[in-house]
Homo-oligomer: A and B are copies of this chain.
Amino acid sequence: MPLPVPVLPEGVDPAWLPPAAFRAVGGRRTLIRGSGPLVETVHGEVAQACQLFGGRVVRDAAPDGAYDLVLGPGAEDLGDEGFTLAREGGTTTVGACGGRGLLYGLFHVVRLGEDAFRGERARVVHRPALALRMLDHWDNVAVHPVMGQVERGYAGGSLFWEDGRARGGLERVRAYGRLLAACGINAVAVNNVNVHETEARLLTDRIGEVARLADAFRPYGIRTHLSVTFAAPMLLGGLLTADPLDGTVRDWWAGATRRVYEAIPDFGGYVVKADSEGRPGPFAYGRSHADGANMLAAALDPFGGTVHWRAFVYDHRQDWRDRTTDRARAAYDHFVPLDGEFAGNAVLQVKHGPMDFQAREPVSPLIGAMPRTRLAVELQVTQEYTGQQRHVCWLGPMWSEVLRFRYDDTRVGGLARGGLVAVSNAGDDPFWTGHPLAQANLYTFGRLAWRPDAGPREVLDEWIQLTFPDAPARLAGGLHAVLDGSWRTYEKYTAPLGVGFMVQPGHHYGPSVDGYEYSPWGTYHFADRDGVGVDRSAATGTGYAGQYGKPWSELYESPDTCPDELLLFFHHVPYGHVLRSGKTVIQHIYDTHFEGVAEVEEARATWASLAGLVDPARHARVAERYEEQLRCAREWRDQVNSYFFRKSGVPDARGRRVY
């Protein structure tokens, strides 16, 4: 029986799967072969497309020239997710051995559109570069008094939880799974890594609610994961310890995990934030993070589950007076000594930069330094530090830089084994992501997880093509104009030259140059009347630059060879220091801040010129957010420029207004 395609609730945007995206497939004669639940999903998709566009779909006949498209078992072993695509004699053929492969093949054909049905195509094998392509939702079940329902969420409430429990109707969760499958995501963690009291119980007496979510995701090939608290044996099991080497604790986890798998046989595994920003962890028992992770890995192993153990461990109660402690060093210092000690089904989940999802950071040296550990890289699709979905900031180019960064030959292997993970930016907002253009970030993440070396601009093309299937070239051009450079624009009007932060404490929106300067969070810029930046060199600074292999350790070590965009991350330099660009640091600050605002003004005008090419609700939503982005960008410009003018006393060489 074909599985009906989920019906979107009234008023919810179809995102990158509008009906018209299926026009090419829906107008054809399609044969679907094979069996299994995901084949029924594929059948349902094609059947709905045919209903809309007049085509036909047949099940399990012999493949012959009567079909434009044949979806069915392939000849070779491509794993559960791979597929082949070929076209010969007027028939396009997708071959796959697993249900997911067939589904991904179908969505591939959808992306190609009419191109999939033109001329001949040599057979090409498609396989995801990374086996795990995962979204972490920082959703709370009970609304948190400070963080709200979705921690760092900017798109309304949770898709999963409402009024303190799993939503009654899960049609929208099914639709979300469908969107994710269409960009290649295959795993979702359904609750916040900061596991509060209510959410802790999802592991035990409330596992039924998680099972319902897993049921909704499963037809689109997505496994469900759960964030758990390390203190669960005490909190839920009444034990007096959570020591990972204690037998009763290990037994408790084994039993709890067995019951999870009774409820959800294809459960993905656990996500754990331990000994981080106040969360409990193995340090309390004098145990290592490998001990902690391996205990959970052992509980999950019999069932094929994985533990994702976050490497975001640092001292969040640092003394700002202490210049020897460097938060950037922390993950490396904590975890490199443990390389080789983690179990095979334990994945160490490492943020892409050493700090915390800033608009510009160097790539974390930890990622290249643990060849004997399965690593996953964590990105942040939700725009905590990049405009909170009120600003357009398409992160494809940044992620691409991270994913293409070469430490040495072992990196890709390590990453491939652990996967790519991101914090989702989706919520129950009608546009899913608050800002309609932020959908591009979610889509881009999924596609880069499938193929990390894909060109981001090419991925953006796909997103535009799917989202606006009937778009004239002028709309596509306009979307590229406002999105392509938006990350660099954002970087220009916020913290300069890689120094990071300068945001308002707590909610992290908008500028506050000294907001974190005297805080315990380890995020400083050390600006004084003479200069600015953090000396992280090995020779005179914190030594962080020495955590890289060559050539990076040498390049970052000297202000003469350090890339401009990271200069203040690695060095404290005078305002008169001349950048590789030929400008002084202070003039660079002024120039980029004026440029950044001018670029937002231009983007806003470009968007205004697209009215009539985009449906009115979407156009209005984006236009309204551009007003806020421009207001906020001006605030950034003026605060940052005034701050550095007041400190340096150096006037803008071009005589523009600095307050």
Contact = CB atoms under 8 A, between A and B. Distances in A.
A465 interface: no
Contacts of A642: 321, 518
A258 interface: no
A530 interface: yes
Contacts of A320: 659
A642 B512 CA distance: 18
Given A321-B638, A639-B518, A527 B646 contact: yes
A649 interface: yes
A483 interface: no
A529 B639 contact: no
Nearest to A640: B518
Contacts of A505: 504-505
Contacts of A639: 518
Interface string A618-659: 000000000000000001001100110111110000000001
A239 to B, nearest CB: 32
Interface in A491-513: 504-506, 511-513
Contacts of A635: 518
B512 A649 contact: no
A530 B646 CA distance: 8
Contacts of A197: none
| A512, A513, A645 pick with most chain B CB within 10 angstroms | A512
A560 B642 CA distance: 29
Contacts of A518: 511-513, 635, 638-639, 642-643
Binding site secondary structure of chain A: loop
Per assembly, the copies of the chain total: 2
A321 B528 contact: no
A514 interface: yes
A659 B529 contact: no
A145 interface: yes
A513 B513 CA distance: 11
Interface string A24-61: 00000000000000000000000000000000000000
Given A321-B638, A638-B321, A646 B528 contact: yes
Nearest to A634: B321
Given A321-B659, A638-B321, A659-B321, A648 B513 contact: no
Given A145-B145, A514-B512, A518-B639, A528 B659 contact: no
Interface centre among A642, A645, A648 (most CB of B within 10 A): A642
Contacts of A530: 649
Nearest to A645: B528
A529 B648 contact: yes
Contacts of A512: 514-515, 518
Contacts of A145: 145
Which of the listed residues A513, A514, A635, A648 has the most CB atoms from chain B within 10 Å of its own CB? A514
A627 B504 CA distance: 28
A638 B638 CA distance: 27
A504 B638 CA distance: 21
Nearest to A510: B518
A280 to B, nearest CB: 25
A527 B646 CA distance: 7
Contacts of A506: 506
B321 A529 contact: no
Given A145-B145, A512-B514, A512-B518, A646 B529 contact: yes
A529 B646 CA distance: 6
Interface of A: 145, 320-321, 504-506, 511-515, 518, 527-530, 635, 638-639, 642-643, 645-649, 659
Given A321-B659, A528-B647, 16 more contacts: A320-B659, A321-B642, A504-B505, A505-B505, A511-B518, A512-B515, A512-B518, A513-B518, A514-B514, A528-B646, A528-B649, A529-B529, A529-B646, A529-B648, A529-B649, A646-B647
Closest 10 CB pairs of A and B: A528-B646, A514-B514, A321-B659, A518-B639, A529-B529, A529-B649, A529-B647, A321-B638, A647-B647, A145-B145
